[in-house]
Amino acid sequence: MRRFTDYLRNTGPASLAVVVLVLVPAALEASGIGFRNDTNQTIHVQGSLVVNGQVKQRGSLLRIKPGETAWDLNLPKCVRTITVYDGSNRVLFQGAIPFDGMNDLFFAVQPVAVPANQPPRVKLKELPVPVGGQ
């Protein structure tokens, strides 16, 4: 026959497990960079971390249809190199964005008017982060 104290001995680890389950979702809400496609074509966006001229970490390749939004999440504090491609893998934009690792950033990918004999280009326009971050 078990005594009541045997049952109490197991409540400490169980209580700790409940606290961890409550706090983990808050920690998983990591900061990131969001992109909204304001063009009329599907684009691909990829971020990378470049150190001393070499790519150290490549982010996910985000496929974004016109009017849709996608997020590159769980990013460290760094200067992030952002590359935007069209459907034929042609680079439309490449640039560096400082990211503090704490606050979300949000950009609209917008077309740029270019002369008829020039390849298409886009620009990133920083916008306020949507409520809820996504």
Q: Which domain holds residue 115?
A: 31-127
The whole-model pTM stands at 0.75
CA dihedral 20, 24, 26, 32 (to 10 degrees): 160
Q: Which residues does residue 15 pair with via DSSP β-bridges, in sequence order?
A: none
Could you give the number of structural domains in the chain?
1
Please indicate, yes or no, if residue 18 is contained in any of the structural domains: no
Residue 6 lies in a domain: no
Sheet holding 32-37, edge to edge: 69-73, 32-37, 105-112, 121-127
Find the range with the poorest average confidence among 21-25, 31-35, 58-62, 115-119.
21-25
133, part of any domain: no
d(CA 109, CA 35): 7
Q: Is the pLDDT of residue 127 over 70?
A: yes
- In this predicted structure, what is the pLDDT of residue 57? 87
Instruction: With beta carbons less than 8 A apart as the criterion, state whether 119 and 89 touch.
Output: no
Residue 11 within any structural domain of the chain: no
CA distance 134 to 35: 10
Q: Residue 72: inside a domain, yes or no?
A: yes
The CATH number that applies at residue 89 is 2.60.40
Q: How many CB atoms lie within 10 A of CB 86?
A: 16
